[in-house]
Amino acid sequence: MKCPKCGQKLRQSKKNPDKMLCDNCRKSYWIDDLEDEYSTPVPPFKTWKLVSGILSIILFVFVTFQSCAAGLANTLEENGEVGGSAGVIVAIMLLAGGIVSIATRKGGKGGNIALIVLFGIGALCGFTMAGSYGDLYIWAAWCLICVILAIVALIKSKK
């Protein structure tokens, strides 16, 4: 650690291990105060990735059950729609995207690209194959929102 005042390297106090001393300007600093000052900045979108990841995993359970019911209704009505199957695909993409979102919340371009692909597949399947399964448009819209935020995070990332 360096002295905030003069920039020289600090040494640990022999009398008090919680203090750092600057031999150049003769100042002492508490280690906790220095850690706050020199802590690494929070990567952008870290909170968004955590919240969207948790929400996507919770939605996975709900969308899965709802899609199974829609698929059963499509089968019983013999209407030729594939909304239930599309809903299962969207649910799987929600689960995978949620896990990736949580795992890569600290940054990196690879995680954002994976989120764009996973949520993009979910949005595409949801919007194109929903049929009479109207709620699938809502879940596809959530996937699309996650894609847009992942694109913004990818553009703004420095790594």
130-148: pLDDT as tens digits: 988 899 999 999 999 999 9
On the question of pLDDT at 92 being above 90, the answer is yes
* Cα 49 from Cα 103, distance rounded (Å): 9
**Distance of CA 143 to CAs 18, 48, 116, Å?**
48, 14, 9
According to the model, what pLDDT value does residue 35 have? 61
* pLDDT category of residue 154 using cuts at 50, 70 and 90: confident
On the question of pLDDT at 31 being above 90, the answer is no
Average pLDDT score, the chain: 87
Percent residues over pLDDT 90 in the chain: 48
- State if pTM tops 0.75: no
- DSSP assignment string, 81-134: --HHHHHHHHHHHHHHHHHHHHHTTT--HHHHHHHHHHHHHHHHHHHHH-TT-T
* Cα 59 from Cα 19, distance rounded (Å): 48
**Strands of the 19-21 sheet, one edge to the other:** 11-12, 19-21, 28-30
